[in-house]
Amino acid sequence: GIRWYLGTLHGDALNVGDKVISVESGQRATVAGIVVSGQKVQRAYDAQAVAVHIAEDVDISRGSVLASAIHTAPCSDGFYADILWLEKKYEDRDSFSGTIKLHHHEEQVQVTIEGIKSPLKTAFVYLSHPIAMDHYDACPHTGLFILMDAYNERVVGVGTITSIVNYEYPSAEAI
């Protein structure tokens, strides 16, 4: 049978025949079919729920981001963000370890806080591996995240990505 990938389109329109790339794996593919609201279409638009058929066999899983092969989305393991702490006890900390939810990704993070004591902080967020993201101004869906306490899973902060950088971690063997 044909494999369809489901998701929501964010950004430019998507056409049958467009070349796309799986941002996390770097694999390229061609859009062979698009379904919107149960109807096969030749083009889908921003904010539409879509089913996409890819001609090639590529490694795509839940949370993967497909982007135009011409205008690829950034993929990084670190970024600067503006964070609004929702719990007062986090306002005066200089670091935070917990869980981040960035579009469909959820993973452990280390956040280093910069700035004065305030509910709104500028921070650098370290991820365990590169994931697709955008500046919030460019695409709010992939530029917005929440931070959760690792122990009780309460949402303790929300943030917007302001600058994407590529941060290299030392491997465990180097420690």
64 in the same domain as 40: yes
CB neighbours of 9 closer than 8 A, spacing ≥ 6? 44, 45, 46, 47, 48, 49, 50
Within 13 Å of residue 29, how many CA atoms lie on the same side as its CB?
23
Final residue belonging to a domain, choices 68, 100, 123:
68
Q: What is the pTM of this model?
A: 0.76
- With tokens 């590169």, the residue in question is 130
Output the average pLDDT for the chain. Answer: 84
Mean pLDDT of 88-94: 82
Domain boundary among 44, 68, 92: 68
Are residue 86 and residue 56 in the same domain, yes or no? no
pLDDT in tens, 109-128: 777 766 656 778 888 888 87
Same domain, 88 and 41: no
pLDDT in tens, 42-60: 999 999 999 999 999 888 8
Same domain, 115 and 87: yes
In order of 1, 77, 169, 170, 171, the CA distances from 174 in angstroms are: 46, 19, 10, 6, 5
Residues 170, 95 share a domain: yes
Distance CA 12, CA 146 (A): 25
80 and 54 inside one domain: no
C-alpha 82, offset from chain centre: 16
Domain carrying residue 16: 4-68
CATH at 37: 2.40.30.10
Q: Name the band, by pLDDT with cuts 50, 70 and 90, for residue 168.
A: low
- If asked whether residues 106 and 36 sit together in one domain, one would say no
Are 138 and 90 part of one and the same domain?
Answer: yes
Asked if residue 79 and residue 60 are part of one domain, the reply reads no
Let me know whether 80 and 27 are in one domain.
no
Chain center to CA of 84: 19
Query: For residues 9 and 159, what is the distance between their CA atoms, to the nearest angstrom?
Result: 22
CB 53 within 8 A of CB 44: no
Question: How many folded domains does the chain comprise?
Answer: 2
Same domain, 56 and 34: yes
Same structural domain for residues 13 and 79?
A: no
Is pLDDT of 21 > 50? Answer: yes
